[in-house]
Amino acid sequence: MNIDIDENEIKKKLTSEEYRVLREKGTEAPFSGVLLNEKRAGTYKCKVCLNPLFPSDAKFESGTGWPSFDQALPGATKLIIDESYGMKRTEVVCVKCGSHLGHVFDDGPTSTGKRYCLNSVCLELAAEEEKK
């Protein structure tokens, strides 16, 4: 991690659901996330530290109920083997603050073959029209 984390400050900043998912490695209910059907261009950032994570043009509809991307911005995420719940998966965390974002799978439909399956509550969209 690149930044010092004050968990009390993070708890104040996030809703209880956001904290559960981002800091306690939870999962939001499928098809419940506000960014699932988001189509605006921009950059998806970490809700905790605002680290840029995913370009909007990497987002695709996976039918899983969570926002899905075929690639992260270079150096933005860290991948960790996750063997919880009797499964072997690859967890995706923010490289800057270590927050849990979701998991990545090797079943994506694009040329990368990746499907970053992320929790909407972990992300914040900096839309291009908002940047101008």
94 is catalytic: no
Cβ contact 118:100 at 8 Å: no
- Out of 94, 97, 117, 122, the active site residue is 117
Distance CA 45, CA 74 (A): 13
- Spatial separation of the C-alpha atoms in residues 132 and 126, rounded to whole Å: 11
Q: What SS3 state is found at 22?
A: helix
Catalytic residues: 117
